[in-house]
Structure 1
Amino acid sequence: MRSRHPKALGFRCYPASHRSLTLVLWSLVALVVFVNFHLLIIHKEEETMSTHEIRRSIMRELEVVEKEKFRLAPPRSRRNPRAVRRKGEKKPPTIVDEFLDQSSAVHDMFFPELNTAVDPVNGGNDSMYFYYPGRIWLDTDGKPIQAHGGGVLYDKRSNTYFWYGENKDGKTYKVNSKGADRVSCTFRCYQHPFVVWDKPYLAVEALNSIVSPNVNDLCQTHKVDIIGVICYSSKDLWAWKNEGLVLHGEEKNVTHDLHKSNVLERPKLIYNDRTGKYVMWMHIDDANYTKASVGVAVSDSPTGPFTYLYSKRPHDCESRDMTIFKDDDGKAYLIYSSEDNSELHIGPLTDDYLDVTDVMRRLLIAQHREAPALFKHEGTYYMVTSGCTSWAPNTALAHAATSVMGPWETLGNPCVGGNEVFRSTTFFSQSTFVLPVPGLPGSFIFMADRWNPSDLRDSRYVWLPLTIGGVPDEAADYSFMFPLWSRVSIYWHKRWRLPEEWRDS
């Protein structure tokens, strides 16, 4: 009995000991897991803070506010002194008037000569990767880039950027004294083949004086505006190779949308992951801007050739300045100026990106905005637009929305730096596209055109850093939740470049 009692006692205590040991072991395991989890969280937070600090340090240089100072001599009157004494002096021209006047000193300031061109091949190491807004920009063949009113597509399959735009490499003329400036090539009037001019309006004037007053009507269709859509490729967003015309103007068929007498503007490209097609949308119009339509073309390759499909008025509405936007979920949208440019319309595209759906919303009603450039950051949609002042530069406005279909809030002028005149004229340019910078969240390249209406092929490109962050300091519309939006800032720089770190992202 004595000998069994301890055994019985030992038998009864063993399960308790085992349970205690197991509990201790599992407690230690839980502690180790908890400690590691806690350390992982701390590491992630430090990593996030470190990434944020690195980004801020990278972008700090681009966000420096550069001031611009220039003194302009008062323009001399071009009027006869006797007329001035009799009728008095006219109101002096504005800085924008002088900017548009090819003979003024101001014009030369904003359109520097060829010897200051950005040259990726022969420019030297001192200018490597630097952008010079407003200077002539040469491609890798040493010729000025012709990609006006365009946009950039990043192709993941080839890890290449493709820049598409209007080729305006021809002389400039007016359709009529009150008409828009147009581009032409060498002109031959087929009704009167003995006359060949490189300035169509002079040919028409001459023929009117020697033939009949109706010659202008006969020769109108032989004026040229559509040369085509051109494409450039790049790995670094600075040195661009000319890939040639990817969509050609039509030479002979006068009924074709792309006949050289018509208008093709603001071509934009997106890639359809479902169909494997590259889809181009563009503004299509006639010589008098009464067609007001969009055109669609498609290709299997980013360098074309693109097959033109058709044109239409989306949602049975006028469409002039336009762009397209592809969201993170693959859905795409068309945004266009309508109702005599008094408002913007937006609507989703079909799944193949070849047409619009029946859904449409009206944006910025009665605000008269055009040249939309739409982009997205951290779930919020942003857009930069221009006023409607023909070729004359005007004040840009930034807008924001939590849904791409709206409602949209107007945040105010995004331009920072330069001087008051620079900011009120969007640095003497007009928006065309906003390109996200890879590896630098919240950082973008603002792409704009500095139009030269007297010589459209010499229009320049203004690329500047755009960032999202901070509270807007002004607003044009207080319809809802204005203080919650982050500020859109476009910083003026005479010379700047992207940080080297972005290429490693």
Structure 2
Amino acid sequence: MRYKSLFRIITPVLMACVAFFSVQVGAVNKSFYPGKIWPDDKGVHINAHGGGTLYFQGKYYWFGEFKSENTSSALVGVTCYSSSDLYNWKNQRIALSVEEDEKSDITKGCIIERPKVVYNKKTNKFVMWFHLELKGKGYAAARVGVAVSNKITGPYKFVRSFRSNPGIYPMNMTDEQKKLSLNTEDYKEWWTPQWYKAVDNGLFTKRDLKDGQMSRDMTIYVDDDGKAYHIYSSEENLTLQIAELTDDYLGHSGKYIRIFPGGHNEAPAIFKKDGVYWMITSGCTGWDPNEARMFSATNIWGPWKKYPNPCVGNDAKLTFHSQSTFIQKVEGKKDAYIFMADRWTPKHPIDARYIWLPILFENGKPVLKWYDQWNLNIFK
């Protein structure tokens, strides 16, 4: 009798706990909560940092770095999540896995950052680009990696890693600049007027000409005509470069430009509205947040114009304690774009939070405001 009575007491409690747990795991989000834990379909905080999204056949796919507890090195690879509404995400799989082979460029312990996936309509392939640093080399390699898959969720097969456009000068470097003899040994003291002038004239471009340009923080942008572009922080993170991809999206075509030499921009995120390209970047302060920058152009090849920080309100000068990573157009809504950013936690990388905010427009220019909670109805 004692056991039956105990069973009658425990059973409802257990059922209530199971029901509560099920509700939490299967909870349906109807809003964004920037900076909060963002559970996936299994109730686990989404692990897709420095990522980007791709809309394909009615669903969004989010690719990002799988962060570990105590290191930002790649111990697992690149994760993939899917969603039909942008609020609720299903953990699909590890899209690109690191390799056990120590000779591989993507061996376990390398650094894989800011993965972006695009779909190539000509080849029917999904192509992933990412910033890659070789294991044990810190951030000296400054390479870009490419992987490919027949299926959007993967698995992706690593193709190769490389520096950008070896042996090729930027299209917007003048003949006079190309003829200049510049040597980094002559400019050991940085930030002087003479050094800035040398950087503007291509000091580091020339240094890296033979082996290719450095490529760190990056994004991939596919234009309306299907042309794709690799936008990345180069020249010791001093200068942004925009490079056209080949038709199969697996390499560079050889056409590229430098923009804002010496401007110290990284974390590029780009979108296009009414024929105008808008790009938001950050400054270079390591894992610490800083003030966002914004640029625009009516042609991808420039000229590009600089604007003040698009963020307004409290903590605007720290980009709301985050750093840009991607901008996603909301399908089915006019002029609806989401600014995606990460709030880094370098001492506990896996706990980094996501700052997704609506891009609003005032006087024709993008504006970012903080919201503790918001949903897509804001675009009405």
Answer whether TM exceeds 0.5 for this pair: yes
Q: Corresponding residue for 1:425?
A: 318
Q: Deviations over 1:239-272 (max 9, x none)?
A: 1000010100112x11211111211000001101
* Counterparts in 2 of 1:121 and 1:314: CA distance versus 1, 3 Å: farther
Displacement, 1:500? 8.9
Q: Of 214, 224, 229, which residue of structure 2 is paired with 1:318?
A: 214
- TM-score (normalizing by structure 2): 0.79
Larger Rg: 1
Equivalent positions of 1:342-491 (< 5 A) are 342-417=238-313, 419=314, 422-470=315-363, 486-491=364-369
Does residue 241 of structure 1 match 2:72?
A: no
Q: Corresponding residue for 1:329?
A: 225
Q: Corresponding residue for 1:492?
A: 370
Equivalent positions of 1:46-195 (< 5 A) are 122=24, 128-156=29-57, 159-168=58-67, 170-172=68-70, 182-183=71-72
Q: Which runs of 5+ in 2 are unaligned?
A: 1-20, 166-211
Displacement, 1:361? 0.2
- TM-score (normalizing by structure 1): 0.60
Does residue 295 of structure 1 match 2:145?
A: yes
Q: Deviations over 1:2-23 (max 9, x none)?
A: xxxxxxxxxxxxxxxxxxxxxx
**Identity of counterpart residues, as a percentage?**
47
Whether contact under 8 Å (1:120, 1:140) holds in the other structure is: no
Find the residue that maps to 1:122 and give its secondary structure.
helix
RMSD in angstroms over aligned alpha carbons?
1.9
Q: Deviations over 1:350-370 (max 9, x none)?
A: 000000011110012111000
* Counterparts in 2 of 1:380 and 1:465: CA distance versus 1, 3 Å: same
Whether contact under 8 Å (1:233, 1:240) holds in the other structure is: yes
The separation in 1 between residues aligned to 2:49 and 2:230, in whole angstroms, is 20
1:295 partner amino acid = G
Q: Deviations over 1:397-426 (max 9, x none)?
A: 111001111121111111123x2xx10000
Find the residue that maps to 2:316 and give its secondary structure.
helix
Displacement, 1:120? 11
Q: Deviations over 1:177-205 (max 9, x none)?
A: xxxxx34xxxxxxxxxxxxxxxxxxxxxx
The separation in 2 between residues aligned to 1:454 and 1:501, in whole angstroms, is 36
2:38 partner amino acid = W
The separation in 2 between residues aligned to 1:149 and 1:171, in whole angstroms, is 16
Q: Of 155, 159, 167, which residue of structure 2 is paired with 1:309?
A: 159
**Greater strand share, 1 or 2?**
2
Displacement, 1:467? 2.3
The separation in 1 between residues aligned to 2:149 and 2:331, in whole angstroms, is 25
2:373 partner amino acid = R
Displacement, 1:130? 1.3
Displacement, 1:154? 0.1
Displacement, 1:138? 0.3
Q: Corresponding residue for 2:114?
A: 266
* Counterparts in 2 of 1:120 and 1:383: CA distance versus 1, 3 Å: farther
Displacement, 1:501? 8.7
Find the residue that maps to 1:388 and give its secondary structure.
coil
Displacement, 1:171? 2.4
